[in-house]
Amino acid sequence: MHFQAIYKPQTSLNTFTPTSTGSGFLAYQGSCSPADGRREMSSERQAEICSLLQNHGYRHRGFGHPSVTLTWSLALAGGGGISCVLQDGEVFEKAGVNVSVVSGFLSEEAARQMRSRGKSLKAKDGKLPFCAMGVSSVIHPKNPHVPTMHFNYRYFEIEEADGTKQWWFGGGTDLTPTYLNEEDAVHFHKTLKEACDKHDLKLYPKYKKWCDDYFYIKHRGERRGIGGIFFDDVDSPSKEEVFQFVKSCAKAVVPCYIPIVKKHCHDSFTPEEKLWQQLRRGRYVEFNLVYDRGTKFGLLTPGSRIESILMSLPLTARWEYMHNPPESSKEAEMLEVLRNPKDWVH
């Protein structure tokens, strides 16, 4: 079987600590074989992010509900993968990093969705074997002045009827603030732009726009956040060059986000600001469950690990009927940018 993926954790899950370097704790065997570097990137990034999260979020102060305790959970996923989730920490309400490899046959619905993106997928006996691997993370802070951050970088491979393999990379990094802070928006986008510019000056403007288009909550007429970069189906100029680009993007995650966390995690906030954050978290849930490609793919794939897929959902969210912030309020200023995305760097 061509697409079987086996995970061999080389240290016991019980002794794994998120502060260890990622290299070597995860071994991958199988013939869905992109450069080895890809899994290294995934596991290194995961260890780096987990370590940072732990350093910033380990003090539990029981916000929200006394029975909820701080938990770092590690789980070997059914499809092959490791999820690392921090819940109800002092700085982060919920933060997860997930490395996964899934393989099997595309569901009809998943194939239909890919064809609708322009792929010609010729099935063999009605079946399309696939393999996907990636790293993803969503970080929902407690303080409404610290934005939510999401990134995901993934590699996808499909074997067609004649044995040829289609492959592509996809992913991106994006920011979802509760309140707009222009300085933070510029820092975030500038860091991503620098990562892109090392490879091709055309990439940042193209992927910035793609991000604004992709994270669009159509039924609300709003973007989920203030964007970042997003791309999918990228299969040129060469596998190696795309991989180097993806590595640069993944390496930019920490410098584009952590300074913003440090800057605002002790900002004071009002109950009204917390409430607005919870309403925005509701929109986050709407986007992820209704539109997100990765979530939809996961929900459609038999045997996929649902707790890892839905790790991206916030700890808490809120929906009020007909909530409309007053004109000229900070909340209205945020909405304006979600409705009409801005260019933050040129």
Least distance in angstroms from the C-beta of 288 to a second copy:
9
Nearest to 272 by CA among 264, 284, 280: 280
Residues 6+ apart with CB under 8 A from 128: 105, 106, 111, 121, 158, 159, 160
Q: 85 CB contacts (<8 Å, ≥6 apart)?
A: 71, 72, 73, 94, 95, 96, 97, 311
Measured from the CB atom, the residue of 126 and 303 that comes closer to a second copy is 303
Of 146-154, 155-163, 189-197, 311-319, the window that binds a second copy (rule: CB under 8 A) is: 311-319
Q: How far is the CB of 77 from a second copy (least distance, A)?
A: 11
Among residues 1, 12, 14, 66, which is the contact residue for a second copy, using CB under 8 A? 66
Q: How many residues does the chain have?
A: 346
Q: Coil, strand, or helix at residue 268? A: coil
The neighbouring-strand residues paired with 153 are: 135, 171
Which residue from 123, 234, 310, 345 is in contact with a second copy, where contact means CB under 8 A? 310
CB distance 249 to 173 below 8 Å: yes
**Binding to a second copy by residue 70, rule CB under 8 A?**
no
* CB of 67 or CB of 238, closer to a second copy: 67
Residues 268-307 that bind a second copy (CB under 8 A): 271-272, 275, 278, 282, 285-286, 289-290, 299, 306-307
Whether the CB-CB separation of 84 and 74 falls below 8 Å is answered with yes
To the nearest whole angstrom, how small is the minimum distance from the Cβ of residue 69 to a second copy? Answer: 11
User: Given 140, 150, 189, 199, which residue is catalytic?
Assistant: 150
Distance CA 217, CA 280 (A): 12
Q: Does 147 engage in binding with a second copy (CB under 8 A)?
A: no
Which lies closer to a second copy via its Cβ, residue 254 or residue 317? 317
Q: Which is nearer to a second copy, 157 or 222 (CB)?
A: 222
Q: How far apart are CA 179 and CA 147, in angstroms?
A: 8
CA count, 13 A, side-chain hemisphere, 322: 0
Question: Would you give the binding string for a second copy spanning residues 317-336, x where CB under 8 A is met?
Answer: xxxxxx--------------
- Reduced to 3 states, what is the DSSP secondary structure of residue 284? helix
CB of 51 or CB of 295, closer to a second copy: 295
* Contact assessment for residue 140 and residue 95, using Cβ atoms and an 8 Å cutoff: yes
212-241 residues in contact with a second copy (CB under 8 A) are: 218-220
Residue 21 binds to a second copy (criterion: CB under 8 A): no
> Both tokens of residue 74?
């590690």
Q: Which is nearer to a second copy, 75 or 121 (CB)?
A: 75
**What span, in angstroms and rounded, lies between the C-alpha atoms of 317 and 308?**
19
Question: Would you give the binding string for a second copy spanning residues 77-106, x where CB under 8 A is met?
Answer: ------x-x-x------x-x----------
User: Shortest distance, CB of residue 289 to a second copy, whole angstroms?
Assistant: 4
Cα–Cα distance for residue pair 108/248, rounded to 1 Å? 34
Rg (CA), the chain: 20
Give the CA diameter of the chain: 61
Residues 254-273 that bind a second copy (CB under 8 A): 271-272
Please confirm, yes or no, whether 187 is among the known catalytic residues. Answer: no
Binding positions for a second copy, 180-219, rule CB under 8 A: 218-219
Neighbouring C-alpha atoms within 13 Å toward the C-beta of 277: 21
Nearer to a second copy, 41 or 132 (CB): 132
Q: Which residues contact a second copy (rule: CB under 8 A)?
A: 65-68, 71, 73, 75, 83, 85, 87, 94, 96, 218-220, 271-272, 275, 278, 282, 285-286, 289-290, 299, 306-307, 309-311, 313-322
- Residues annotated catalytic, as ranges: 150
